[in-house]
Amino acid sequence: MKILSVAVCSALFLNFSLANSELIEKAKSFGLVALPKDKTSLEKFIEESAQDSKVYPTTQARVELGKMLYFDPRLSKSGIISCNTCHNLGYGGADNIPASTGHKWTPNPHHINAPTVYNSVFNSVQFWDGRAAHLAAQAAGPMTAEPEMASSPQRVEEIIKSIPEYVKFFEKAYNKGVDIDFDLITATIGIFERTLVTPSRFDDFLNGKENALTKEEKAGLDLFIEKGCVSCHNGVNLGGSMQAFEVVSKYKFANIGDFKGDKDGMVKTPVLRNIMLTAPYFHNGAIWDIEEAIKEMGSIQLGIEITDKEANSIASFFKSLNGKMPKITYPILPPSTKQTPKPELDY
């Protein structure tokens, strides 16, 4: 009897392992991609994903300088708003409000919320309408948008050049006498943002660690694939590319804001990495509950009804996408000088 029990347990374990390996291969066959598990391969993958990395390769000096710029509110007209204001690195890389709020407490005029900056290097495009090709181009947008940071390229350049320590940091990161222009400043912010990558248990699972996911999370992953969610949420970010929106039916909160996507009605698919940390959902932040968001996507994109139980199962899988956040030490920013432009609050 004892020998039989051992044999049965061994057979069950073999079948369970086979089921795990089949699920891994199934996920890969539907276009889901894991982050590389070793540091060297991951750094290479990041560099290959950054569209401007051949012109501006990543170095530690550039990353540290980019981090300072990312957190420096002086780059805004008011001296209050930094990149981190709307892309809070301690808060899922977003601001977790329906419509991002900027200069003079102005809400986004189109009622758009801020996508997460974490893992954004892997997106094929930036912004909800895909208008920026890479991170440097994205960094330039909010800095010069009136409802956001309300600055200008000239003002940003003047601020940096007026601070001797910043000039030294740029010369260390690039070369002595480097022209510190707006493009170089935004490129340096983008270099820092490349490092904001969050490997997760999902990556461990796809890389062969079969016990990295719980039984419930594996069931949710399989359902996520079977329901067709992977048709848009694929690749290494499970999103981040331009896709058609409202394919089958209308989004029930489409009347909130006037965002319609790009000229062809295409919208950047939300990244699912860390999705449990980045509510509210959809471009206009109209849905706070992840299960409701899943059911709504099933309706408008796939033309199917996803039950409460199924939505809960898929949400269980999403928990495995919560990644390991990089350790970020808040930088001590160099002091302004008499030549540094003063804040303009526009009260």
Which positions make up the binding site for heme c?
Answer: 83, 86-87, 103, 229, 232-233, 297
Known binding positions: 83, 86-87, 103, 229, 232-233, 297
CB-based contacts of 144, cutoff 8 Å, min separation 6? 150, 151, 152, 153
d(CA 1, CA 88): 60
In 3D space, the residue among 262, 238, 244, 259 whose CA is nearest the CA of residue 302 turns out to be 244
At residue 266, what are phi and psi to the nearest 5 degrees? Answer: -85, 150
The phi-psi region of residue 261 (left if phi > 0; otherwise alpha if psi is between -120 and 50; otherwise beta) is left
H or E element that contains 242: strand 242-244
d(CA 343, CA 105): 15
Instruction: Quote the tokens at residue 238.
Output: 């499970």
Locus of tokens 């003079």: 104
Please check whether residue 144 is in contact with residue 153, taking contact to mean a CB–CB distance below 8 angstroms: yes
Annotated catalytic residue 292: no
Within 13 Å of residue 219, how many CA atoms lie on the same side as its CB? 9
Length of the chain in terms of residues written: 347
d(CA 19, CA 39): 29
Alpha helices in 30-163 (DSSP H): 39-49, 60-71, 83-86, 135-144, 153-161
d(CA 249, CA 114): 25
In 3D space, the residue among 315, 310, 253, 307 whose CA is nearest the CA of residue 289 turns out to be 315
**Catalytic position from the list 22, 47, 148, 158:** 148
Give the residue numbers marked as catalytic: 148
